[in-house]
Protein backbone atom coordinates (compact mmCIF):
# COMPACT_ATOMS: atom_id res chain seq x y z
CA UNK A 1 0.00 0.00 0.00
CA UNK A 2 2.87 2.35 0.84
CA UNK A 3 4.40 1.77 -2.62
CA UNK A 4 1.06 2.44 -4.31
CA UNK A 5 0.59 5.62 -2.26
CA UNK A 6 4.14 6.75 -3.13
CA UNK A 7 3.63 6.08 -6.85
CA UNK A 8 0.27 7.86 -6.75
CA UNK A 9 1.90 10.83 -5.04
CA UNK A 10 4.73 10.97 -7.61
CA UNK A 11 2.25 10.70 -10.48
CA UNK A 12 0.12 13.50 -9.03
CA UNK A 13 3.22 15.66 -8.58
CA UNK A 14 4.26 15.01 -12.19
CA UNK A 15 0.78 15.93 -13.46
CA UNK A 16 0.78 19.18 -11.46
CA UNK A 17 4.29 20.07 -12.66
CA UNK A 18 3.33 19.34 -16.28
CA UNK A 19 0.22 21.49 -15.92
CA UNK A 20 2.29 24.36 -14.49
CA UNK A 21 4.87 24.14 -17.29
CA UNK A 22 2.08 23.95 -19.89
CA UNK A 23 0.41 26.98 -18.31
CA UNK A 24 3.67 28.97 -18.38
CA UNK A 25 4.42 27.96 -21.97
CA UNK A 26 0.99 29.23 -23.01
CA UNK A 27 1.43 32.57 -21.23
CA UNK A 28 2.46 35.57 -23.33
CA UNK A 29 3.82 38.65 -21.58
CA UNK A 30 4.24 42.04 -23.26
CA UNK A 31 6.20 44.82 -21.54
CA UNK A 32 4.70 48.31 -21.26
CA UNK A 33 5.87 50.81 -23.87
CA UNK A 34 5.83 54.59 -24.07
CA UNK A 35 4.10 55.69 -27.29
CA UNK A 36 4.13 59.49 -26.96
CA UNK A 37 1.47 62.02 -27.87
CA UNK A 38 0.95 60.77 -31.43
CA UNK A 39 1.94 57.12 -31.15
CA UNK A 40 5.17 55.19 -31.37
CA UNK A 41 5.97 56.23 -34.97
CA UNK A 42 7.04 59.73 -33.92
CA UNK A 43 9.96 58.38 -31.84
CA UNK A 44 10.76 54.97 -33.24
CA UNK A 45 13.45 56.37 -35.55
CA UNK A 46 15.81 56.84 -32.58
CA UNK A 47 18.31 54.18 -31.58
CA UNK A 48 17.24 54.68 -27.95
CA UNK A 49 13.99 53.35 -26.55
CA UNK A 50 11.05 55.78 -26.90
CA UNK A 51 11.00 56.74 -23.21
CA UNK A 52 14.78 57.28 -23.12
CA UNK A 53 14.57 59.48 -26.23
CA UNK A 54 11.82 61.53 -24.59
CA UNK A 55 13.75 61.94 -21.34
CA UNK A 56 16.91 62.96 -23.17
CA UNK A 57 15.15 65.67 -25.18
CA UNK A 58 13.13 66.92 -22.20
CA UNK A 59 15.92 67.08 -19.61
CA UNK A 60 18.83 68.26 -21.75
CA UNK A 61 18.55 72.00 -20.95
CA UNK A 62 18.10 71.73 -17.17
CA UNK A 63 20.79 72.25 -14.55
CA UNK A 64 21.72 69.01 -12.81
CA UNK A 65 24.46 67.61 -10.63
CA UNK A 66 26.52 64.70 -11.90
CA UNK A 67 25.30 61.26 -10.90
CA UNK A 68 22.69 58.62 -11.63
CA UNK A 69 19.03 59.08 -10.70
CA UNK A 70 17.14 55.78 -10.54
CA UNK A 71 13.35 55.86 -10.46
CA UNK A 72 11.09 52.84 -10.01
CA UNK A 73 7.45 53.39 -11.00
CA UNK A 74 4.29 51.55 -11.99
CA UNK A 75 2.57 51.60 -15.37
CA UNK A 76 -1.08 50.88 -14.62
CA UNK A 77 -3.45 48.86 -16.79
CA UNK A 78 -4.93 52.07 -18.24
CA UNK A 79 -1.52 53.47 -19.27
CA UNK A 80 -1.28 55.95 -16.40
CA UNK A 81 1.72 56.08 -14.05
CA UNK A 82 1.91 55.89 -10.25
CA UNK A 83 4.02 54.82 -7.26
CA UNK A 84 7.20 56.75 -8.08
CA UNK A 85 10.09 55.62 -5.88
CA UNK A 86 13.63 57.05 -5.87
CA UNK A 87 16.00 54.07 -5.79
CA UNK A 88 19.16 56.16 -6.18
CA UNK A 89 19.33 59.88 -5.48
CA UNK A 90 21.61 62.59 -6.86
CA UNK A 91 19.80 65.49 -5.19
CA UNK A 92 16.19 66.20 -4.27
CA UNK A 93 15.95 68.77 -7.06
CA UNK A 94 17.36 66.45 -9.73
CA UNK A 95 15.28 63.50 -8.53
CA UNK A 96 12.09 65.56 -8.65
CA UNK A 97 12.80 66.89 -12.15
CA UNK A 98 13.16 63.34 -13.45
CA UNK A 99 9.95 62.27 -11.67
CA UNK A 100 8.08 65.29 -13.04
CA UNK A 101 9.28 64.44 -16.54
CA UNK A 102 8.07 60.86 -16.16
CA UNK A 103 4.74 62.04 -14.72
CA UNK A 104 4.19 64.13 -17.84
CA UNK A 105 4.03 60.85 -19.82
CA UNK A 106 1.19 59.42 -17.72
CA UNK A 107 -1.55 58.14 -20.01
CA UNK A 108 0.84 57.95 -22.97
CA UNK A 109 1.85 54.33 -22.47
CA UNK A 110 0.67 51.04 -23.88
CA UNK A 111 0.32 49.00 -20.68
CA UNK A 112 1.94 45.65 -20.12
CA UNK A 113 -0.21 42.68 -21.04
CA UNK A 114 -0.49 39.07 -19.96
CA UNK A 115 -2.25 36.93 -22.55
CA UNK A 116 -3.56 40.12 -24.12
CA UNK A 117 -5.08 41.48 -20.91
CA UNK A 118 -3.71 44.85 -19.67
CA UNK A 119 -2.04 44.58 -16.25
CA UNK A 120 0.03 46.90 -14.10
CA UNK A 121 3.81 46.43 -14.30
CA UNK A 122 6.82 48.12 -12.74
CA UNK A 123 9.63 49.78 -14.66
CA UNK A 124 13.02 51.10 -13.58
CA UNK A 125 14.66 54.06 -15.32
CA UNK A 126 18.32 55.11 -14.89
CA UNK A 127 19.13 58.70 -15.88
CA UNK A 128 22.90 59.32 -15.93
CA UNK A 129 23.90 62.99 -15.75
CA UNK A 130 27.42 63.17 -17.17
CA UNK A 131 29.90 66.04 -17.54
CA UNK A 132 31.79 65.11 -20.73
CA UNK A 133 34.59 67.56 -19.90
CA UNK A 134 35.32 66.04 -16.48
CA UNK A 135 36.02 62.69 -14.88
CA UNK A 136 33.71 59.80 -15.71
CA UNK A 137 31.06 58.75 -13.21
CA UNK A 138 33.01 55.52 -12.68
CA UNK A 139 36.16 57.48 -11.81
CA UNK A 140 34.26 59.72 -9.40
CA UNK A 141 32.79 56.64 -7.72
CA UNK A 142 36.18 54.95 -7.46
CA UNK A 143 37.74 58.03 -5.84
CA UNK A 144 35.06 57.96 -3.15
CA UNK A 145 35.45 54.21 -2.62
CA UNK A 146 39.21 54.65 -2.11
CA UNK A 147 38.59 57.45 0.41
CA UNK A 148 36.08 55.23 2.24
CA UNK A 149 38.58 52.37 2.49
CA UNK A 150 41.21 54.75 3.91
CA UNK A 151 38.75 55.88 6.59
CA UNK A 152 37.85 52.25 7.33
CA UNK A 153 41.49 51.20 7.74
CA UNK A 154 42.17 54.27 9.89
CA UNK A 155 39.26 53.32 12.16
CA UNK A 156 40.67 49.82 12.64
CA UNK A 157 44.12 51.25 13.44
CA UNK A 158 42.58 53.55 16.06
CA UNK A 159 40.80 50.60 17.70
CA UNK A 160 44.12 48.78 17.97
CA UNK A 161 45.97 51.81 19.38
CA UNK A 162 46.90 50.79 22.94
CA UNK A 163 47.83 54.35 23.88
CA UNK A 164 44.17 55.42 23.70
CA UNK A 165 41.51 54.69 26.28
CA UNK A 166 38.72 52.43 25.03
CA UNK A 167 36.20 55.29 25.25
CA UNK A 168 38.37 57.66 23.23
CA UNK A 169 39.26 54.94 20.71
CA UNK A 170 35.57 54.11 20.21
CA UNK A 171 34.64 57.74 19.63
CA UNK A 172 37.45 58.37 17.15
CA UNK A 173 36.95 55.10 15.26
CA UNK A 174 33.19 55.66 15.06
CA UNK A 175 33.76 59.07 13.46
CA UNK A 176 36.07 57.47 10.90
CA UNK A 177 33.55 54.73 10.13
CA UNK A 178 30.71 57.24 9.72
CA UNK A 179 32.97 59.16 7.35
CA UNK A 180 33.56 55.94 5.39
CA UNK A 181 29.79 55.44 5.05
CA UNK A 182 29.42 59.03 3.80
CA UNK A 183 32.05 58.41 1.10
CA UNK A 184 30.31 55.17 0.09
CA UNK A 185 26.97 56.97 -0.15
CA UNK A 186 28.62 59.53 -2.44
CA UNK A 187 30.09 56.71 -4.54
CA UNK A 188 26.59 55.25 -4.98
CA UNK A 189 25.42 58.57 -6.37
CA UNK A 190 27.83 58.12 -9.28
CA UNK A 191 27.79 54.33 -9.64
CA UNK A 192 24.67 52.72 -8.13
CA UNK A 193 24.46 48.94 -7.88
CA UNK A 194 28.26 48.67 -7.63
CA UNK A 195 29.08 45.49 -5.62
CA UNK A 196 32.29 46.89 -4.08
CA UNK A 197 30.34 49.77 -2.52
CA UNK A 198 27.88 47.38 -0.89
CA UNK A 199 30.71 45.09 0.25
CA UNK A 200 32.52 47.91 2.05
CA UNK A 201 29.24 49.10 3.55
CA UNK A 202 28.82 45.61 5.05
CA UNK A 203 32.38 45.70 6.42
CA UNK A 204 31.83 49.15 7.93
CA UNK A 205 28.56 48.18 9.61
CA UNK A 206 30.31 45.12 11.03
CA UNK A 207 32.95 47.37 12.64
CA UNK A 208 30.17 49.58 14.00
CA UNK A 209 28.51 46.51 15.54
CA UNK A 210 25.33 46.93 13.49
CA UNK A 211 24.63 43.29 12.61
CA UNK A 212 21.22 43.97 11.04
CA UNK A 213 22.60 46.47 8.51
CA UNK A 214 25.62 44.23 7.91
CA UNK A 215 23.36 41.27 7.05
CA UNK A 216 21.20 43.46 4.81
CA UNK A 217 24.24 44.65 2.85
CA UNK A 218 25.73 41.15 2.59
CA UNK A 219 22.46 39.80 1.21
CA UNK A 220 22.38 42.65 -1.28
CA UNK A 221 26.01 41.95 -2.24
CA UNK A 222 25.27 38.26 -2.87
CA UNK A 223 22.34 39.20 -5.11
CA UNK A 224 24.49 41.59 -7.11
CA UNK A 225 27.32 39.11 -7.79
CA UNK A 226 24.84 36.39 -8.77
CA UNK A 227 25.02 36.08 -12.60
CA UNK A 228 21.22 35.69 -12.63
CA UNK A 229 20.80 39.13 -11.02
CA UNK A 230 19.80 41.52 -13.78
CA UNK A 231 16.98 43.93 -13.11
CA UNK A 232 14.87 44.94 -16.08
CA UNK A 233 15.70 48.59 -16.67
CA UNK A 234 16.30 51.32 -19.22
CA UNK A 235 19.14 53.84 -19.10
CA UNK A 236 19.77 57.20 -20.75
CA UNK A 237 22.81 59.52 -20.62
CA UNK A 238 22.26 63.30 -20.33
CA UNK A 239 25.37 65.38 -21.09
CA UNK A 240 25.64 68.46 -18.88
CA UNK A 241 26.46 71.82 -20.46
Does residue 75 belong to any structural domain of this protein? yes
Does residue 236 belong to any structural domain of this protein? no
Domain shared by 123 and 45, yes or no: yes
Does residue 240 belong to any structural domain of this protein? no
Does residue 83 belong to any structural domain of this protein? yes
SS (H, E, C) the chain: CHHHHHHHHHHHHHHHHHHHHHHHHCCCEECCEECCCCCHHHCCCCCCCHHHHHHHHHHCCCCCCCEEEEEEEEECCCCCEEEEEEEECCCHHHHHHHHHHHHCCCCCEECEEECCEEECEEEEEEEEEECCCCCCHHHHHHHHHHHHHHHHHHHHHHHCCCCCCHHHHHHHHHHHHHHHHHHHHHHHHHCCCCHHHHHHHHHHHHHHCCHHHHHHHHHHHHHHHCCCCCCCEEEEEEECC
Predicted pLDDT at 48: 66
pLDDT per position as a tens digit, 131-164: 888 899 999 999 999 999 999 999 999 999 989 9
Count: domains in the chain? 3
Does residue 239 belong to any structural domain of this protein? no
Domain shared by 207 and 160, yes or no: yes
Does residue 216 belong to any structural domain of this protein? yes
Domain shared by 10 and 35, yes or no: no
Predicted pLDDT at 45: 47
What pTM was estimated for this model as a whole? 0.75
pLDDT per residue, tens digit, the chain (241 aa), is 444 444 444 444 444 444 444 444 566 878 899 998 765 444 444 556 888 889 988 888 778 889 999 999 999 999 999 999 999 999 999 999 999 999 999 999 999 998 889 999 999 999 999 988 889 999 999 999 999 999 999 999 999 998 999 999 999 999 999 999 999 999 999 999 899 999 999 999 999 999 999 999 999 888 877 665 544 567 788 888 6
Domain residue limits at 50: 31-130
Amino acid sequence: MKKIALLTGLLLSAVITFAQVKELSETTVESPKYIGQQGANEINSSESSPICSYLKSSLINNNFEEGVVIILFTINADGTLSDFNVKNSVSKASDQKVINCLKSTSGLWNPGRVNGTPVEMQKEIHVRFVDPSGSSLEELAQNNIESAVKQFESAKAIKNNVSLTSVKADKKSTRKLQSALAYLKEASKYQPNEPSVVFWEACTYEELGNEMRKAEKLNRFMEMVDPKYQAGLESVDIHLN
